[in-house]
Amino acid sequence: MKSVPIGKKGLDIPIIQGGMGIGVSLGRLAGSVALCGGMGVISAANPGFNQPDFYKNRRQANCRALKNEILKAREIARGRGMVAVNVMVALSDSEELVKTAVKAGADAVIAGAGLPLNLPRHTLGTETAAAPIVSSAKAASLVCRSWKRNYDVYPDFVVVEGGEAGGHLGFSFDQLLSGRQKTLDRIVAETVGALKSFEVEIGRAIPVFAAGGIFDYGDIKKALACGAAGAQLGTRFIATDECDASFEFKQAIIRAKKEQITVIKSPVGMPGRALKSPLIEQLSLSGGIPAKNCVGCLKTCSPASTPYCITEALISAVLGDWENGLFFCGENAYRVDRMMSVKQLINELTR
Ligand SMILES: Cc1cc2nc3c(=O)[nH]c(=O)nc-3n(C[C@H](O)[C@H](O)[C@H](O)COP(=O)(O)O)c2cc1C
């Protein structure tokens, strides 16, 4: 594996630990990944969930917590690797979170769950690299053309996420359930091809990182053979000592059986992959659980008609409440069978 130039920096180990909200990837996990030379990513999805004023003052609590987590990660990383922030476009406070990340000196902002057409508004002219998460070559080209037209800039790198990923997925239910979506290898190869003309125009590479279902060194090698510069992994980083989630969340991933991994509807407006936990069973029986404490976190959610509050469910999960939690995970979660340190995992992934 080769190091990858990103913005003015180089990423020694071309592995990104994907942002995992709520609270699954915060400063401790991201800093530990960066310390090993990779890119650790803090999720900006309600990082203030455990601040005392979260339910009264969500926006300020989130920005305050995000800044603290970036500082924590940088302290752990001791100048190695890169510390980045993942922002979901669907969040109602996404712009403030991007601004906070840039101001706090994040090395990159990676944005998904919608096309981040305005991300350069806050990263342009700063030291913070900007990257979209896409699920097709078409979406990658669209983002490139839009950023060029409106900001005269291209992405510093691109994350391509296939249908086997954990969390929200950029495919329709039909595609996912029928297995008709393209393979990750194919989407990576098509995206690498689509980016070529932009790369020629600017005289630099736009590195592509493959994400979704990547489990081991062999999977990374396959992605590199398709033209990727590296890989982004989420699920495997959950079962690490340094992951910010509770012991119970990590154990739920280690215990997961293949038949327990399912695709659910999310109030974000996209399908999501998660464990079939009691909450999912209850939702399929009752059709909905009214939100108790809506904090208005999503642009796409209407509290009166939402089948459940995803923020409540994700907070329950990160705190280890198996009955009420929504446990996002990738299609390969059933293959995770033990805890390890981030260093052991990165060594295993890079041989
Ligand atoms: C628990 C969990 C939470 C996630 N949360 C986010 C998120 O907040 N934003 C995002 O862009 N992706 C999110 N993802 C996707 C990951 O960043 C990553 O791209 C994906 O998990 C890769 O697939 P893998 O889990 O099969 O490795 C999440 C994934 C998991 C498992």
Residue 44 shares a structural domain with residue 174: yes
Residue 41 shares a structural domain with residue 143: yes
pLDDT digits (tens, 9 = 90+) for 291-302: 888 999 999 898
Residue 91 shares a structural domain with residue 164: yes
pLDDT of residue 179: 82
| Ligand 1 near 227 CB (within 6 A) | no
Using the mean position of ligand 1's atoms as its centre, give its distance from the Cα of residue 106 in Å.
19
Of 193, 192, 179, the residue nearest 263 (C-alpha): 179
| Ligand 1 near 113 CB (within 6 A) | yes
Q: Counting atoms of ligand 1 from 1, which one is nearest the CA of 113?
A: 11
In this prediction the pTM is 0.98
Residue 185 shares a structural domain with residue 230: yes
Its sign, for the CA torsion 324, 48, 36, 232, is positive
pLDDT digits (tens, 9 = 90+) for 49-77: 999 999 999 999 999 999 999 999 999 99
Beta carbons of 9 and 224 less than 8 angstroms apart: no
Q: Counting atoms of ligand 1 from 1, which one is nearest the CA of 24?
A: 1
Residue 275 shares a structural domain with residue 341: no
pLDDT digits (tens, 9 = 90+) for 256-275: 999 999 999 998 889 999 99
Residue 15 shares a structural domain with residue 61: yes
Residue 50 shares a structural domain with residue 126: yes
Residue 81 DSSP symbol? S
Q: Which residue in this structure is represented by tokens 């060594």?
A: 347
Residue 184 shares a structural domain with residue 197: yes
Residue 226 shares a structural domain with residue 84: yes
Residue 224 shares a structural domain with residue 301: no
Sheet holding 271-275, edge to edge: 167-168, 271-275, 261-265
Residue 313 shares a structural domain with residue 281: yes
Output the domain CATH number for residue 135: 3.20.20.70
| Ligand 1 near 130 CB (within 6 A) | no
Residue 147 shares a structural domain with residue 202: yes
pLDDT digits (tens, 9 = 90+) for 221-259: 999 999 999 999 999 999 999 999 999 999 999 999 999
Model confidence band, residue 150 (pLDDT cutoffs 50, 70, 90): very high
Range of the domain at 173: 4-245+337-350
**Total count of domains within the chain:** 2
Cα–Cα distance list, 282 to 162, 279, 324 (Å): 28, 5, 9
By most ligand atoms within 8 Å of CB, the mutation choice from 328, 331, 345, 349 for ligand 1 is 328
Mean pLDDT of 126-150: 98
